[in-house]
Amino acid sequence: MRVIVLVKASAESEAGQMPSEELLTQMGSYNEELVKAGIMLAGEGLHPSSKGKRVRFTAKQRAVIDGPFAETKELVAGYWVWQVKSMDEAVEWLKRAPFDGGAEVEIRPVFEAEDFGAEYTPELRARDEQLREQVEERQKR
Amino acid sequence: MTDSSQHTRRAIETVWRIESARLIGGLVRVVRDLDAAEDLAQEALIVALEQWPETGIPENPGAWLMTTAKRRAIDRLRRQRMLDKKHEELGRAPVQDLLTTLESAVDAIDAEVEDDLLRLVLVACHPILPTEARVALTLRLLGGLTTDEIARAFLASEPTIQQRIVRAKRTLGEAKVPFEVPRGADLTQRLSSVLEVVYLVFNEGYSATKGDAWLRPALCDEAVRLGRILAAHLPDEAEVQGLLALMELQNSRARARVTPSGEPVLLLEQDRGRWDQLLIRRGLAALERAEVLKRPLGPYTLQAAIAACHARARTAEETDWVRIVALYDGLAELTQSPIVELNRAVAIAMAFGPEAGLELADQLKDEPALASYHLLPSVRGDLLQKLGRLDAARAEFERAAFLAKNTRERELLLARAKACR
């Protein structure tokens, strides 16, 4: 399964402060460990929300809101995408990360085709059906 | 079982899955025996299962397991020495000296940890073992698959797989294979046997010829994971990067290649919007590394480069068939494989028209390796049909249907034959 690991913002990250050299080194070796275990697919850090924008949708209106945004602890400061066998495995790997100071890091499983089950709507079904017919048609030709 | 002890138990199982390969790899370096290394690792796990529910999971569980296994190893060596002392008369090196040497050897376990996973892969895929034994041993030791899971994936009975693993370990022991990680050309050579195993596992999952359906994605994931581990440990090995690129690119199409009801969708018919862009990007990056490392390109890198031509094309019409033909030229020269030649014929037809493709496909008619291969008449039928030679096309499709082993494929081929009237 694929999971996304969301690192939340802090007062420091929102202030645009770079982590200490020590933390950067630790994070570097942690990332290397993730790569060598074959679980890391991607990972990036994000600029503070002061450099971000939001778009609010109301009926036909599109309102653009400039950062920074409040609710610091709910903002995302970085993410990883991991390929793991289970949520347990993701938790076990995350425990080894060099965070401190009450940081909370969130793991969320990514939807996979088989998760859709009931959500697999008649429209989607019809589209796949159509695709299948096209294929058969092509093969008959 | 209470909630918390169940929770701990699951956490221990997870730690085990993460740590066992490195643990066994480290132990085998010292005890020089795969069976003993596995035993010691298992013993450490049993101690953990006894102690952790009481003490909680240690901060660095991997190091804890290694220390525990190390102590067990020293105990064993001591006992062995004591026995030897009883059986043999004095006159050799004093027992205490030997013990010190052994203990420092066991301590050396903390050095060279970098290579431990690699060491284990190389041992599990040792060329003295038959391929099926290498596959079973690799999945068991590195993939953490149970013998039951391996058995179901390969439609074999559990005792058969168990036997295969036991025999493989015995073979390795009797041959006294060295556990050192070779360097340079020797390493590249040993790696070819590893890459073969990894790709075989991937294909078993990808092409779904047999075995439990739910295990197939697991096999693909496992093979790609192994590929990623190897690529991270061996950044300078071109074909390691090439194989990883090939698997990432093929896997990127997994969601698009079958309909939800399980019908296959041909590459050129797939909804490219469902291709996994993250995997494509990873595949292209690995391909780039491989291409920089070595020229001329090796067989996995060439196949990855072909897959990349499809990945880069936003629509089927945009596919760079001329480049694909050139890559197949290289691959055909390298592998001398008639199946590659057949693929080349298809690419030539796409690039330069059905006439040109048919010319090459016709040359393959007398190839003994393709005598009962249904795709040869199937390709010829397709090209003949495109050229409007319907009678000849029908005969080819009928012949292909006769040779096809898969029921669904046979039905499709018969339908195509029928359409050529």
Where in chain A are the domains? 2-110
Q: Which among A88, A131, A136 has CB closest to B10? A: A88
Q: Which amino acid, residue B320?
A: D
Rounded CA separation B205/B196 (Å): 14
One-character DSSP codes across B15-67: HHHHHHHHHHHHHHHHH--HHHHHHHHHHHHHHHHHHHHHH---SSHHHHHHH
Chain B hits for A136, CB-CB cut-off 8 Å, are 412, 415
Chain A hits for B229, CB-CB cut-off 8 Å, are 36-38
pLDDT band at A120 (very low <50, low <70, confident <90, very high): low
Comparing CA positions, the residue from B143, B201, B131, B195 lying closest to residue B168 is: B131
What pTM, to 2 d.p., does this model score? 0.86
Burial of A20 (0-12, 13-18, 19+ CB in 10 A): exposed
Asked if B266 lies within 8 A of A42 by C-beta distance, the reply is no
Question: Which residue, chain included where needed, has tokens 């102690």?
Answer: B51
Comparing CA positions, the residue from B225, B229, B310, B111 lying closest to residue A33 is: B229
Rounded CA separation B279/B249 (Å): 6
Q: Which chain B residues touch A if contact means CB-CB below 8 Å?
A: 10-11, 13-15, 17-18, 117, 221, 224-229, 232-233, 255, 259-261, 263, 265-266, 269, 271, 278-279, 282, 385, 412, 415-416, 419
3-state helix, strand, coil in chain A (%, to 5): 45, 25, 30
Rounded CA separation A78/A9 (Å): 8
In tens digits, chain B (421 residues) has pLDDT values of: 567 778 888 888 899 989 999 999 989 888 888 888 999 999 999 999 999 989 988 988 989 999 999 888 888 888 877 777 766 655 555 555 555 555 666 555 555 567 888 999 999 999 999 999 999 999 999 987 888 888 887 778 899 999 999 999 999 989 888 888 888 888 988 999 999 999 999 988 887 555 556 667 888 999 999 999 999 999 999 999 999 999 999 999 988 888 777 677 889 999 999 999 999 999 999 999 999 998 899 999 999 999 999 999 999 999 999 999 999 999 999 999 999 999 999 999 999 999 999 999 999 988 888 888 899 999 999 999 999 999 999 999 999 999 987 777 788 899 999 998 8
Task: Using DSSP, state whether B141 is helix, strand or coil.
Answer: helix
Rounded CA separation B323/B352 (Å): 12
pLDDT band at A126 (very low <50, low <70, confident <90, very high): low
For residue B200, the 8-state DSSP code is H
Q: What percent of chain A has pLDDT over 90?
A: 62
Preceding omega of A98 cis (within 30 degrees of 0): no
Task: Using DSSP, state whether B228 is helix, strand or coil.
Answer: helix
- Long-range Cβ contact pairs of B140-147 (< 8 A, separation 24 or more): B140/B165, B141/B21, B141/B24, B141/B38, B142/B21, B142/B117, B142/B226, B143/B222, B143/B225, B143/B226, B144/B16, B144/B17, B144/B20, B144/B21, B145/B218, B145/B222
User: What's residue B102's pLDDT?
Assistant: 59
pLDDT band at A113 (very low <50, low <70, confident <90, very high): low
User: What's residue A122's pLDDT?
Assistant: 52
Looking at A9-140, which runs of residues are DSSP E strands?
40-45, 53-58, 61-66, 76-83, 105-109
Chain A hits for B241, CB-CB cut-off 8 Å, are none
Tokens, residue B184 = 């340079």
Q: Which amino acid, residue B208?
A: A
Name the residue in chain A with its Cα closest to that of B22. Answer: A37
Q: How far apart, in Å, do the first and last CA atoms of chain A sit?
A: 39
Rounded CA separation B145/B64 (Å): 23
CATH topology of domain A2-110: Alpha-Beta Plaits (3.30.70)
Burial of B235 (0-12, 13-18, 19+ CB in 10 A): exposed
The b-or-e profile of B358-387 (16+ CB within 10 A means b, else e) is: bebbeebeeeeebeebbbbbbbbbbbbbbb
Question: Which residue, chain included where needed, has tokens 């003295």?
Answer: B128
B18-to-A72, A84, B141, B233, B341 alpha-carbon distances in Å: 34, 10, 12, 17, 42
CA of B265 vs chain A CAs: smallest distance (Å): 7
User: What's residue B400's pLDDT?
Assistant: 94
Rounded CA separation B132/B392 (Å): 41
Task: Using DSSP, state whether A40 is helix, strand or coil.
Answer: strand
User: What's residue B264's pLDDT?
Assistant: 75
Mean pLDDT for all residues in chain A: 85
Rounded CA separation B214/B146 (Å): 15
Q: Where are the domains of chain B?
A: 3-111
Q: Mutual orientation of helices B407-419 and A122-140 as an angle, nearest 10°?
A: 60
User: What's residue B106's pLDDT?
Assistant: 57
Q: Which among B10, B232, B419 has CB closest to A38? A: B232
Residue A29 has pLDDT above 80, yes or no: yes
For residue A106, the 8-state DSSP code is E
Q: Which among B224, B232, B263 has CB closest to A132? A: B263
Asked if B266 lies within 8 A of A138 by C-beta distance, the reply is yes
Contacts of B107 (CB under 8 A, 6+ apart): B70
Q: Which among B232, B265, B278 has CB closest to A81? A: B278
Name the residue in chain A with its Cα closest to that of B19. Answer: A37
Q: Which amino acid, residue B330?
A: G
Tokens, residue B285 = 């990056």
Rounded CA separation A1/A93 (Å): 14
Question: Which residue, chain included where needed, has tokens 């009926």?
Answer: A59
Give yes or no for A88 touching B (CB within 8 A): yes
User: What's residue B405's pLDDT?
Assistant: 77
Preceding omega of B178 cis (within 30 degrees of 0): no
Phi–psi pair at A86, nearest 5 degrees: -160, 165
B228-to-B86, B235, B259 alpha-carbon distances in Å: 50, 10, 28
Q: Which among A36, A125, A131 has CB closest to B271? A: A131
Pair B374, B397: CB distance under 8 Å: no
For residue B369, the 8-state DSSP code is G
User: What's residue A134's pLDDT?
Assistant: 59
